[in-house]
Amino acid sequence: MISAAGKFPTDNHGWAELLPARQVTPALTGSHRVPWVVVGAGLTGLACARRLAQLHPDQEILLLDARRVGAAASGRNSGFVVATSHFPGAVAADQVDNYRRVNRINQAGLELLSQQVLENNIDCQWRREGFYHTAAGDTALGEYKNFLRYLDTLEAEHQTLDRTELQERLGTDLYRAGVHIADGALVQPAALVRGLADSLPANVGLHEQSPVVGIDDGAPLTLRLATAEVKADRVILATNYEATSLGFLNSYIVGSTLAGSFTRVLSSAELEGLGSLGEWGAISLHSGGATLRLTQDHRLSIRNTAEYHGSVLLSDAQLAERQATHRAAFDKRFPQLARVPFEYAWSGVEGISRNGTNFFGRQRDNIYLAGGYNGSGVSRGTAFGTAIADYASGEISHTVSDCLASARAAWMPPRPLLDIAAFFIVRSRFKGVGLDR
């Protein structure tokens, strides 16, 4: 028997605050017998359920989420759909094949999402025109040189920009160098997840606010919920770092809590002084640096804190404290907008492993798992979710092979040492961050 604590914390902050109210699907009740259950309705779980429905059109698939759709990490990230991942440090000749493997997975997820957004007419501010990687301080400038060698090695289409060119595009003179990656997309993540959930095939039954609190081994497997019991032939876990609450990946994955803020909608005059682009995204080449967005609806967002916080969201009081850091970084970049207030704040939790790997495959008889994306979960989670459906169904694909080739995760000690190790792992990302924070 596998059991879980029944708490799945969330709050009302995030990208969902910018959207109209949505009708939540009912919690699952009663007793059920189904061939398939997918636990977790984030990007991985949604992709998995969609693919299972295609592979098994005559079978019922239950998709269960402990929260409302979009209330967890899939609706709380900064909305970058990555095609080309950034691997910090100098290019390692013996890792080039691995770089290519990870980017094939990214590309597979990006193509799937592009197709699904188009086919289902999902209104999520999708913009596939790439985005920027930027450097302000000395550490990030060193990484900029490494990144260019990496892009050249992979023959990834890109354009380098100096400080003047970046200022003309982004409206800030903070960055001394940057590079625009041609492929990749920007998206309103909560709108994307909602749209994917609302367009699931007819043989997928989505039930929100339905946490699985235990899984009993057997044939069939038995899933226990507060108001329901489900017997299933196969279960796929798409719960990212919260797989540990069901007894999986303990000592291999933890949650890092990030926080950011949105401005109010900018005026026409404010936008005119903000560079030549109507929408853009910028990721710091320092792993602890700020992530910025100018959104289609004319807000600026900034995310520049990350910490180990017990794998949970920040309280309102803690979020207000972090906004002081957001404000200082925002004003440093956009002094011309220093009087523009923040209107919303948010926090979110990303699943990270000690060595930056992902998790994919069979965990035990008829239980499969995909997750752990270290901050690159929009494209990669979509690809992993689709591939785990194929793998559990006995299908073979290039993406399945690429996902199975993920490196083994490095072990982390059990609690309370895990908490200490996680604290230092997360804090280390800010070493030398300087101006890029």
Same domain, 8 and 41: yes
pLDDT bin (cut points 50, 70, 90) of residue 321 is very high
Are both 140 and 269 inside the same structural domain? Answer: yes
Res 31 pLDDT > 90: yes
Q: Which amino acid is residue 249, in one-letter code? A: L
Mapped onto helix, strand or coil, the DSSP state of residue 222 is strand
Q: Are residues 346 and 212 in the same domain?
A: no
> What mean pLDDT comes out for the span 218-233?
96
Average pLDDT estimate for 304-333: 94
- Whether 51 is covered by a domain: the verdict is yes
Tens digits of residue pLDDT in 136-194: 999 999 999 999 999 999 999 999 999 999 999 999 999 999 999 999 999 999 999 99
Handedness of CA 11, 15, 18, 21 (dihedral sign): negative
Does residue 309 sit in the same domain as residue 272? yes
Beta carbons of 16 and 75 less than 8 angstroms apart: yes
- In degrees and rounded to multiples of 5, residue 291 shows phi and psi of -110, 130
**Do the domain assignments include residue 99?**
no
Same domain, 209 and 168: no
Answer yes or no: is pLDDT of 331 > 90: yes
Share of the chain above pLDDT 90, in %: 89
The rounded distance, in Å, linking the Cα atoms of 118 and 264 is 29
Whether the pLDDT of residue 388 is over 70: the answer is yes
Q: What is the CATH number of the domain that holds 170?
A: 3.30.9.10
Are residues 247 and 297 both part of a single domain? no
Which letter, b or e, does each residue of 158-182 get, where b requires 16 or more Cβ atoms within 10 Å of its Cβ?
beebeeeebbebbbbebbbbbbbbe
Q: Does 70 map to a domain? A: yes
> What's the pLDDT score for residue 5?
43
pLDDT average, residue stretch 219-248: 96
Q: Quote the number of domains for the chain.
A: 2
CATH number at residue 35: 3.50.50.60
- Using the predicted structure, report yes or no on whether residue 4 has a pLDDT greater than 50: no
**Do 297 and 201 share a structural domain?**
no
pLDDT over threshold 90, residue 9: no
> Is 412 inside a domain boundary?
no
Point out which residues pair with 349 in neighbouring strands.
257
CA distance 148 to 159: 10
Provide the token pair at 331: 């004003």
C-beta separation of 233 from 220 below 8 A: yes
The dihedral formed by the CA atoms of 11, 15, 19 and 21, expressed in degrees to the nearest 10 = -20
CA separation for the pair 36, 389 (Å, rounded): 10
What local confidence, expressed as pLDDT, does residue 131 receive? Answer: 97
What mean pLDDT is predicted for residues 77-103? 97
Same domain, 320 and 390: no
Q: In this structure, are 68 and 204 located in the same domain?
A: yes
* Nearest C-alpha neighbor of 33 from the set 297, 301, 222: 222
Question: Interhelix angle for 43-55 vs 377-392, to 10°?
Answer: 30
**Residues above pLDDT 70, as percent of the chain:** 99
Q: Is the pLDDT of residue 6 over 60?
A: no
Task: Using the predicted structure, report yes or no on whether residue 1 has a pLDDT greater than 60.
Answer: no
Mean pLDDT of 360-370: 97
Interval 369-392 mean pLDDT:
96
Query: Domain limits at 204?
Result: 2-75+191-253+356-406
| Predicted local confidence at residue 120, as pLDDT | 98
**pLDDT at 8 (0 to 100):** 83
One domain, residues 18 and 54: yes
Residue at 124 is within a domain: no
Do 338 and 274 reside in the same domain of the chain?
yes
Q: How many CA atoms lie within 13 A of 282 on its CB side?
A: 30
Q: Is the pLDDT of residue 197 over 50?
A: yes
- What is the average pLDDT value for the chain, to the nearest integer? 95
Would residue 84 count as lying in a domain?
Answer: no
Residues 163, 272: one domain? Answer: yes
Answer whether residue 63 is part of any domain: yes
User: Does any domain span residue 101?
Assistant: no
* pLDDT band per the 50, 70, 90 thresholds, residue 423: confident
Question: Distance between CA atoms of 306 and 135, rounded to whole angstroms?
Answer: 19
- DSSP letters, 39-68, are E--SHHHHHHHHHHHHH-TTS-EEEE-SS-
The number of C-alpha atoms within 13 Å of 379 and in the hemisphere containing its C-beta is 26
